[in-house]
Structure 1
Amino acid sequence: MENTSTRRSGQVLLVWGLLVVAANLRASLTGVGPLLDQVQADLGLAPAVAGLLNTLPLLAFAALSPMVPRLAAKWGADRLLGGALVVLALGIAIRWLPTAVGLFAGTVLIGAGIAVGNVLLPSLIKRDFPTKVGLLTSAYATVMGGVAAVASGVAVPISEFAPGGWSTALGCWVFFAVVAVLLWLPQMRVPRPAAPARGGHRLPWGSGLAWAVTAFMGLQSLGFYVVVTWLPQVFQDNGVSPAAAGWLLFLFQAVAVLTSLAVPGAMRWARDQRTLAASCSAVLFLGYLGLFLAPGWALLWSVVLGLGGGACLVLALAFISLRAQDATVAGALSAMAQSIGYLLAAVGPVVFGLLHTVSSGWRAPLVLMCAAAAAQTIVALLAGRGTVRAAGQVADPVPSPAEQASTRSP
């Protein structure tokens, strides 16, 4: 009885640790956009240089994600995640310094720390809660998105009232990172069984299913970062005030967070996720098409994009765990999907903006997003079923028993 109670307490602490880690994976990024004008004016940065504050973390994700499985195999996933949280806290603290050097150096460290967390969380969920993948993925995506939305909303008020202005608004998130470090310390001391050496740390570049999961992750990431970067400007150019455009972006994120809570229930009743993922991707297509045909209905399209975007984020993260044979393969698949995915996410807003400049309007960029959502709908039919195995093994199109249980677990 005592062992059972201790085990349950350990699992509860682990879940809390995972959720607090998730709370730190977006907040230090989404708070930058609303403050960009202040930062640029105070430090005298050119617009292109200031834009790097949003691009550098995504490039760090793309560059570092493939290295994470080998580092985890060498040092242990729990210790590696603890080290990444320390790097994240250090980066936020350095960015609190109101200098260009501190700003960019801190941003690089933040990108490095988050990159490791992005890759490891799906692997840890697969390892420790193999029958609760859908539920816990939804929980951590909801926490991550909710805190990110709050961070973007409170950034300007904090900069106006707190000593230090924008630097305090960016640096205050160090306290949450320190809390995450402290909550994760017990996990770094828990002995874990060594993962079987079956080549699972090698990225599954030769798996068609892995590429489908990667494409789904990349296309939904591209859509999210295009929306958070450009949606307010699209609305403003169609007659919406800047303040209202900002609230519409908050509405998009709030709807996405609420939608992510409903995904586990939908997954529980499905044999696989093909229909659900394709339907949610089609909702995104409808949102982009609506912006193209009737941009004046800004409120409606903010809600529609939030409905599709929130569900697709949870599904993209869940695919990493559900499609993997075990936790080791989940780490490798996570590294592959997030490396390519965030590379697309970094390129997407740039291409969207270039199309706007070349065409002198938003119609061509929105056609691009409709095409991306259509491609995502097709890819969803491939990524929603099957198993990616360790390097050298054949992918199994039939869901494993653990996968079937995880999609139906309450």
Structure 2
Amino acid sequence: MGISQVTNQLEQPKLDLKPRLGLLIIGIILIGANLRAPLTSVGPLVASIRDSLGISNTLAGTITTIPLLAFAVLSPFAPKLAQRFSMELTLFISLISLTIGIAIRSFGGVETLFIGTVLIGSSIAIGNVLLPSFIKHNFAQNIGMITGIYAVSMNLCGAIGSGISIPISSLSGLGWPGALGCWGILSLLTIFFWLPQLRNQHKSIKFVQRETKIQSTNLWRSKLAWNVTLFMGFQSLIFYTMITWLPEILEQKGLNTHEAGWMLSLMQLSMLPITFIVSILAGRLKNQQLLVVVSFVLLIAGLLGILYGSTPLIPLWIIMIGIGVGFAFSLAMMFFNLRTQNTNEAAELSGMAQSLGYLSAATGPVLLGWLHDITNDWTAPLLMLVLASVIVFITGISAGKNEYVTSKQSKNPLFHS
């Protein structure tokens, strides 16, 4: 074989590389968009759903808790499914399941509400776990950039979901079922754009299986893995609890329903530039401990501001909480890749952290609803979120160290010559 033939073979794939990567990035963006909106759109409608179906605040809180429990139960199995069927096919099936769940949830009954919510939570659990690992596999040299892009997509659609839920539900005949059901359009669009990725599934299977043979990691014995897990869990607890109850907290402060809904959107919109910037910064810094400190300070200031500050400054407190959550969320996503050495480890750490992390996060909305029911006030619930922020700080300082979960002494070569 001549040199020119070898050169042609090496150069030929480059002709198709840019279109394939373009579709791949669009697919990642769209999957990210589906990982928040079907859940965040519920928060502003909780009171309407509760009154319409005649359920208690505690039971209403489970509408957000059920997906978190699904995350906890299914997250450990997502890497196994990807190894068996490929990441591309597993993500595709999860999108189909998500669309079915959104449709069932929109029927308007108590039973269908919770059945659909279980399907939605189960589907999103797969995407939550596999997408960071998928990014590490396909964009090893640009993890921070692509993670930032997908995080922005996730939070942007989450913010839109919170903001438009009340206006859509107010349209003639739609109500809360129509406001929740409209997100099925987005999931259907994502299925269409993800179809081309199914052609790459056999390559993905071989890649993951090869890494699995090279190294089997017992993350349950890793102190660093446990810190990443707790960091993931408590930052999620803060976010999903705020998504569920922030509108009602603000209504008690004097805001009307529409204003409270848009404040929830403001919290998520303030996360957008942060999730992109922090992802890139985290990938370039030697360790991420300073970013953890910034997140902690902002969360504490925002929560105490809502609790004790003046009503005119509520937008400021909301923005601070949004930025703080944005810092914490971006760091959690980056820890899956920065604290691991290959795609398989990233998937395993993501599965462990999201399983146990979301299990702890699932207690948040229900516990706050219960505390509010017995105290008829939001002071104790907000103080509980302050305590959660302290735990985020403690675990984040340890998770931000420049180490790998596989070895206490192993340093990340990306930051050493």
TM-score, structure 1 length as denominator? 0.90
2:299 is equivalent to residue 284 of structure 1: yes
Q: What per-residue deviation string (whole Å, max 9, x for no partner) do you get for residues 38-80 of structure 1?
A: 3344444455444332221111111111111112111111111
Name the CA shift for 1:302/1:47 in 2 (closer, same or farther; >3 Å): closer
| Paired residues of 1:209 and 1:386 also in contact (CA < 8 A) | no
For 1:15, which of 20, 25, 30 is the aligned residue? 25
Secondary structure of the structure 2 residue equivalent to 1:194: helix
> What is the rounded CA distance, in whole Å, between the counterparts of 1:165 and 1:154 in structure 2?
12
Q: Among residues 239, 261, 272, which one is paired with 1:257 in the alignment?
A: 272
Shift of 1:312: 1.3
Give the distance between the partners of 1:201 and 1:82, measured in 2 at CA: 27
> C-alpha distance in 1, partners of 2:170/2:320?
32
Cα distance in structure 2, aligned partners of 1:365 and 1:242:
20
Alpha-carbon contact 2:75-2:355 (below 8 Å) kept: yes
Distance 1:249 1:269, change over 3 A: same
Residue in structure 2 matched with residue 208 of structure 1 by the alignment: 223
The residue type equivalent to 2:293 in the other structure is A
Q: Equivalents in 2 of 1:42, 1:355: separation in Å?
A: 23
Check conservation: 1:25, 1:144, Cα contact below 8 A: yes
Q: CA deviation at 1:163?
A: 4.5
Q: Within 5 Å, which residues of 2 pair with 1:350-389?
A: 350-359=366-375, 361-388=377-404
C-alpha distance after superposition, 1:324-363 (max 9, x if no partner): 1111011110011111221122102233344445555443
Identify the residue that residue 316 of structure 1 maps to in structure 2: 332
Deviation at 1:259, TM superposition (A): 2.1
Query: What per-residue deviation string (whole Å, max 9, x for no partner) do you get for residues 245-277 of structure 1?
Result: 333222111111232232245336522212112
Query: Structure 1's 100 and 200: CA in aligned 2 closer, same or farther, altered over 3 A?
Result: farther
Stretches of structure 2 that go unaligned for 5 or more consecutive residues are: 1-10
Q: Which moved more, 1:232-241 or 1:326-335?
A: 232-241
Determine the C-alpha separation between the residues in 1 that align with 2:148 and 2:81.
Answer: 26
Shift of 1:295: 5.0
Alpha-carbon distance in 2 for matches of 1:145, 1:78: 23
In structure 2, distance between residues paired with 1:369 and 1:45: 25
Higher helix proportion (structure 1 or 2): 2
Deviation, 1:93, is 2.0
Any idea what SS the aligned residue of 1:17 has? helix
Written as runs of structure 1 = structure 2, the 5 A alignment for 1:128-143 is: 128-143=138-153
Kept in 1, the 8 Å contact 2:69–2:362? The answer is yes
Match of 2:321 in 1: 305
The aligned amino acid for 2:316 is L
The reply to whether residue 331 of structure 1 matches residue 347 of structure 2 is yes
Kindly indicate whether residue 162 of structure 2 is the aligned counterpart of residue 146 of structure 1: no
- Greater alpha carbon shift after TM alignment, 94-103 vs 176-185: 94-103
1:385–1:399 CA contact under 8 A, matched in 2: no
Aligned-partner SS, 2:152:
helix
Pick aligned residue for 2:13 from 3, 24, 40: 3
Is 1:113–2:123 an aligned residue pair?
Answer: yes
Mapping 1:7-406, distance limit 5 Å: 7-161=17-171, 163-190=173-200, 191-192=202-203, 193-195=206-208, 196=210, 197-198=212-213, 204-267=219-282, 270-294=285-309, 296=311, 297-359=313-375, 361-388=377-404, 393-401=406-414
Whole-Å separation in 2 of the counterparts to 1:143 and 1:383: 25
Output one character per residue of 1:355-400: Cα deviation in whole Å (capped at 9) or x when no partner: 44555544333333222212222222211134445xxx53444113
Tell me the matched-pair count: 401
Question: Structure 1 residue 233: deviation in Å?
Answer: 3.1
Provide closer, same or farther for how the CA distance between residues 137 and 162 of structure 1 changes in structure 2, counting only shifts above 3 A: farther
- Structure 1 residue ranges without an equivalent (≥5): 406-410
Amino acid at match of 2:95: L
1:109 to 1:356, Cα distance in 2 relative to 1, 3 A: closer
